[in-house]
Structure 1
Amino acid sequence: MQHLDLEVICQAIEWLESSASETGACAPSSEPIWLCTVLATFGSSPREPGAWLVARGEGLHRGSLSGGCVEDDFLARLAKGEFTAAAQVIRYGEGGHQGASIELPCGGLLEVLVERFTACEDDIAHLKALRATLEGQTPRLRHVILGETSRRALEEDSGLGERVERLNDANGQASGYQLRVGPVARLLLAGLSPVAEACAAFAVSLGFEVIICEPREEMLASWDARNAPLTGVRLRRELPSRFIAAGGCHAATAVVALTHDPRIDDLAMIEAVRQPAFYVGVMGSLRTSQARAARLARSGGLNDGEISRIVMPIGLNLGSKTPAEIALAVMADIVRIRRGRERHAL
């Protein structure tokens, strides 16, 4: 299982490459695809700006814009031959585009960018660059210009800022959009444990790419005996610290250690604080955390700034007792940090 954004782009590439191999690149008979991006939502809307859907003319599609109602209308209009422009914006909800009679929850509005891609080398290369970004390489800023001279371009980006920004012409009308694309959110779990497995299950449902690094033979044997039941989780049979040091983290990575084994947890923390991960946390009581901080400074050589990056005790203070409750507290804290919310604002 992949993050939905990555699934959408991979599907788009697959369809275009298949069309190119059957008819030739840019051949008139090659099948185009349409990439839809949520630009803005007003009121209640089930998808946030930047969400993607890709579709073919006959109705095959991957991804989501609203959870059903908008997709049905868009696909029906696509089948009738609409959306021939290289890029255009449509609007759903009250006062929607072309009188589309779609009502979103609580009177919400939804603006969608619709781009037409063909099997040309430039279009496929653009999508492959997006795939590379989602897989953890340099964040990108997409420029999509509307109108008769519609065009698209990519440039490197810091990854900071709004995911969607509107570009206006001299009259204040939308002339195009800047769309930020960054790596898929990754949860890196240092070692197997009941809490780690519960965390992995939560993270998959939240759309994270989930990787577990586990070098201990006894834990791997238990995992194998249960036929590795966690769908959508990658298991790497190596020290988490080694994977982290080899480049296993990017700015959209949360590194979490939940084993109570210092050989796993401490080494992972020592490497993780030197990486750009947005969240680094380790499980343990307040007393255990204080002892770990002293140990990381003494034996690991970490300074105060590096130690302060580590969330310990990990997670929100929900009074959690069971593995599932602890996992809920951990993932809630990770989502809080990722969304830029302060604890006092909860």
Structure 2
Amino acid sequence: MDSIDLEVLKTSAGWIAAGQRCELVTVIKTWGSSPRPVGATLAICEDGTVVGSVSGGCIEDDLIARVQREGIADTIPRLVSYGITADEAHRFGLPCGGTIELAIEPLTVHSRLDELLQRLEQHQLVQRRLDLRTGAVELSPAGAGTQLQVSEHALLTVHGPRWRLLIIGAGQLSRFLAQIASAMDYHVVVCDPREEYRAGWTLDDVPLLHDMPDDVVVSLQLDHRSAVVALTHDPKLDDLALMEALRSDAFYVGAIGSRQNNTKRRERLLQFDLTAQQVARLHGPIGLYIGSKTPAEIAISILAEMTAIKNAVPASLLVPHAATPAAPGSSACATELGAA
């Protein structure tokens, strides 16, 4: 499953290859409230077909109507704004009088989308510089903290996975988690040395490593844009990897299991060379409480918690599984999956 950014680029490249005119629309500034963030993209073909999103839908409707009415004749990029007046904000569905500024770029074979996609297939983080005066494009490596920048003469956008996720274990839950995380712009790596699980791995676009998980954690040199999720239920695989992950700068480290199992896991981790503060960083039982039961629901619960931590949502607004009361009369085994 591709991220929205990647889907927009692939679709645009396909239109160009088919000889169709198309435009790439990018949100470059917002004021007040806006439905989509800076960097959101949309591609529109000359027949009015669109992929991606830059608003709640009304701005898309206006862009489609313009293309259907006037076609795509521009040869250089242009900047447009929506929602400057209260009437426009109401018309285009911008709440609280919000304003949104877009860069509209006519795409051609010289837009270097094929080269950009090749780099993204190699999991590179790439910055794309668009000259707003000529439409010329330059590609170069981007740093992890690089953000969209716009000036009078150029637009700099960043493409590729900005976040990393290591999943320990290659079971069914891992497949759901990997698919959804990939769509959320994570570069996902799965690690499982167990042959019986490796043989059933079916996601060709998500690499599966066969090394021991703790060795993988060390080799990845986890930074503050990295997350680790342990899903094997096997202390021999999970614990050593969690120990290394909790020593790293990873913004999120979590492990599946019931409250009882996670209590025992914390006790084991404290026997290693870890501080109480480091062990306290472990999220377990993993995920936010959403009543999840199935593997797909549990994957959503895990990613919901990861997203909240990544976005610095206050803990007072979250209800993690670890904070929910156990159902009366339930056993640790009975709540193993439901409590993630």
TM above 0.5? yes
Separation (CA, whole Å) in 2 of partners of 1:3 and 1:190: 22
Hey, what's the Cα distance between the residues in 1 that align with 2:139 and 2:100? Answer: 25
Aligned position for 1:160: 145
Aligned equivalent of 1:12: 12
2:230, 2:310 → 1: CA distance?
A: 18
Distance in 1, matches of 2:313 and 2:63, equals 35
How far, CA to CA, are the matches of 2:217 and 2:27 in structure 1? 34
Q: 1:287 corresponds to which residue? A: 263
Which of 112, 133, 144 is equivalent to 2:130?
144
Match of residue 88 from structure 1? 78
Contact residue 81 and residue 101 of structure 2 kept, 8 A: yes
Question: Percent identity between the aligned chains?
Answer: 29
Map of 1:127-276 to 2, 5 A cutoff? 128-129=115-116, 132-133=119-120, 136-140=123-127, 142-146=128-132, 148-160=133-145, 163-167=147-151, 174-183=152-161, 185-192=163-170, 196=174, 199=177, 203=181, 208=186, 212-216=190-194, 234=206, 236=208, 238-239=210-211, 241=213, 252-269=225-242, 272=245
CA distance in 2, matches of 1:261, 1:294: 17
SS in 2 for 1:11: helix
Matches within 5 A, 1:7-86: 7-16=7-16, 18-19=17-18, 30-79=19-68, 80-82=70-72, 84-86=74-76
Q: Deviations over 1:12-47 (max 9, x none)?
A: 33333x25xxxxxxxxxx544311111123344332
Paired amino acid for 2:263: R
1:330 paired with 2:302, answer: yes
Contact 2:287 2:305 in 1 (8 A): yes
- How high is the TM-score relative to the length of structure 2? 0.69
Partner AA of 1:91 in structure 2:
S
Cα deviation per residue 1:164-195 (whole Å; 9 max; x = unaligned)?
3332xxxxxx4443333342545432115676
1:137 & 1:274 partners in 2: Cα distance?
Answer: 26
Q: Structure 1 residues 74 and 314, CA, compared in 2 at 3 Å: closer, same or farther?
A: same
Identify which of 109, 113, 138 aligns with 1:119.
Answer: 109
CA distance in 1, matches of 2:14, 2:298: 40
Preserved contact between residue 242 and residue 253 of structure 2 (Cα < 8 Å): yes
Equivalent position to 2:284, from 298, 309, 313 = 313
Q: Which amino acid aligns with 1:136?
A: H
Equivalent residues, number: 310
1:118 and 1:47, CA in 2 relative to 1: closer, same or farther beyond 3 A?
A: same
How far did residue 269 of structure 1 move? Answer: 3.2
With over 3 angstroms needed to count, the CA separation of the structure-2 counterparts of 1:32 and 1:270, relative to structure 1, is: farther
* Deviation at residue 261 of structure 1 after TM alignment: 0.5
- CA deviations on 1:265-294 (whole Å, 9 max, x unpaired) are 135436656887543322354532323423
Matching residue's letter, 1:188: L
Task: Decide whether aligned partners of structure 1 residues 100 and 81 sit closer, same or farther in structure 2, where only a CA change above 3 A counts.
Answer: farther
Residue 149 and residue 344 in structure 1: after superposition, are their counterparts in 2 closer, same or farther (change >3 A)? same
The answer on whether the counterparts of 2:126 and 2:139 sit within 8 Å (CA) in structure 1 is no
CA separation in 2, counterparts of 1:131 and 1:310? 37
Look up the SS of the partner of 1:65 in the other structure.
coil
1:41 and 1:109 in contact (8 A); partners too: yes
More divergent stretch after superposition (283-292 vs 105-114):
283-292
**1:103 lines up with 2:92 in the alignment:** yes
Alpha-carbon distance, 1:9 to partner: 1.7
Instruction: Could you tell me which runs of 5 or more consecutive residues in structure 2 were left unpaired when the two chains were aligned.
Output: 319-340
1:25 corresponds to: none
For the residue of structure 1 that corresponds to 2:253, the secondary structure is strand
The answer (yes or no) to whether the contact 1:9–1:131 under 8 Å persists in 2 is: no
2:284 alignment partner, SS class: coil
Closer, same or farther: CA 266–41 of 1 in aligned 2, 3 Å: same
CA contact (8 A) 1:133 1:139 kept: yes
Describe the SS at the equivalent of 1:35.
Answer: strand
Please give the root-mean-square deviation of Cα atoms over the aligned residues, in Å: 4.3
